[in-house]
Amino acid sequence: MQATAASGAASLVSAAAAVTPAISLQNVVKTFGEFTAVKGLDLDIRQGEFFSLLGPSGSGKTTVLRMIAGFELPSSGRIDLAGRDVTRKAPFERDVNTVFQDYALFPHLSVAENVGYGLKLRRTSRGDRRRLVAEALEMIRLPHVADRLPSQLSGGQRQRVALARALVLRPQVLLLDEPLGALDKQLREQMQVELKQIQRTVGITFVFVTHDQEEALTLSDRVAVFNEGLVEQVGTPEDLYERPSSRFVASFLGNTNLVEGELARGLTGSDALLSIRPERIRIRQPDEPLEAAGMSSVEAVIEEIVYTGPSTRFVARTSAGQKLIVQEQNDSRASSAHRGDRVRLEWSSRFNYTV
């Protein structure tokens, strides 16, 4: 459903833009000595998309980003930007800008000079440069720091200046390598909202590297999940969360119950691995009737209860020994199950996803 909606929206964009991806990686391989960091990657990133590369540490996300920027040469394969082959082009010959993980602001230049650096290289006139820099600082809501040195800024301010410095050049594609990684949780969440707003306003394709699944799900139009140099799955956040295509994706994106063997056979009649999200499961009394037709149900004993503020997590175990985690909102419908209670777990059968 989500997939058709997305492709419907894409077809509204001009036909040319829809067929030519902003970035196209074709069978890209990158080896460092004996070690293969990226193992044959095919990826199309659409124009104007907020696209995330998500994966655990060492899975090759930064390497892919650096190849798109031109800092690393692929060992084999091909990279196109807007339909043009740039595989062997130097970084300064690509219409791509990067926001570095450590921001890489020039310490000897003021904020305004940092933001104006690329414009100066392009021989933008002094007047235009001043106006564009002022606008960029306005956009990140930091017009008053123009004359400061980077060392005189807070972490969040540095991050925004790095963003302004890259965006002021209006590249076709903006690459961001864990730009929020160095910020504390609160600032991080605030910056996520701002980043998304800025991306919508400027309409530039964003390629965003993160190992934080929540961040990827909330910000992205589409996400590629990396694992050991390979892409496990590409899709919308909903695709990935609700219909994971592999055990890795199912367990990497949020918590899930992976069910196989006897219980899985009982639920679906096949041997396939099932993924059941904890928040889909309800806790009922053993003698209560099923809520509706088409429900899956199993009896279990509550082993552990963890209170986490807005929700409570229950760890339950079936008589066959299958552990099931249940996540319950702490609202009026909350069950009052206790440790050791015998309960019946119940969920709609359409949430039994075959992985």
Partner 1 sequence: MRLSRSAKITLRIFAAAVMAAIYLPLLLVIVNSFNATTSGAFPITDFTTRWWEAAFTNEGVREALWTSLRVATVATVIALLLGAMIAFALSRYEFFGKNTVNLLVVLPIALPGIVTGVALNNTFKTVLEPLGIGLGLFSVIVGHATFCIVMVFNNVQARLGRMNRGLEEAAMDMGANVIRAFFTVTLPGFKSAFLAGGLLAFALSFDEIVVTTFTAPPGTETLPIWIFNNMARPNQAPVVNVIAAVLVLLSMIPVYLSQRMTGDDRK
Ligand X SMILES: Nc1ncnc2c1ncn2[C@@H]1O[C@H](COP(=O)(O)OP(=O)(O)OP(=O)(O)O)[C@@H](O)[C@H]1O
* 67 versus 231: smaller Cβ distance to partner 1: 67
Question: What length does the chain have?
Answer: 355
9 near partner 1 (CB under 8 A): no
63 near Mg ion (CB under 5 A): no
Of the residues 3, 5, 121, 193, which one makes contact with partner 1 according to CB under 8 A: 121
Q: Going by DSSP bridges, is the β-strand pair 222-227/205-210 parallel, antiparallel, or unpaired?
A: unpaired
Dihedral sign, CA of 107, 108, 111, 113?
negative
308 near ligand X (CB under 6 A): no
Of the residues 47, 62, 97, 257, which one makes contact with ligand X according to CB under 6 A: 62
58 binds, among Mg ion, ligand X, partner 1, none (CB under 5 to 8 A by kind): ligand X
- Between CA 250 and CA 66, with CA 188 as vertex, the angle to 5 degrees is 70
* 166 versus 217: smaller Cβ distance to partner 1: 166
63 near ligand X (CB under 6 A): yes
37 binds, among ligand X, partner 1, Mg ion, none (CB under 5 to 8 A by kind): ligand X
71 near ligand X (CB under 6 A): no
Of 2-10, 53-61, 138-146, 336-344, which segment contacts ligand X by CB under 6 A?
A: 53-61
86 near partner 1 (CB under 8 A): no
Report, in angstroms and rounded to the nearest whole number, the Rg of the chain calculated over CA atoms: 24
* 41 versus 115: smaller Cβ distance to ligand X: 41
C-beta of residue 112 within 8 angstroms of C-beta of residue 105 = no
Going by C-alpha positions, the residue among 99, 70, 62 that lies closest to residue 87 is 70
Q: At what angle do helices 111-121 and 126-139 cross, to 10 degrees?
A: 130
* 62 versus 97: smaller Cβ distance to Mg ion: 62
For residue 279, give both structure tokens: 């928040």
Which residue reads 């609160």 in tokens?
186
Of the residues 71, 88, 190, 266, which one makes contact with partner 1 according to CB under 8 A: 71
Dihedral sign, CA of 235, 240, 243, 246?
positive
- Which residues make up the interface to ligand X (CB under 6 A)? 32, 35, 37, 55, 57-63, 211
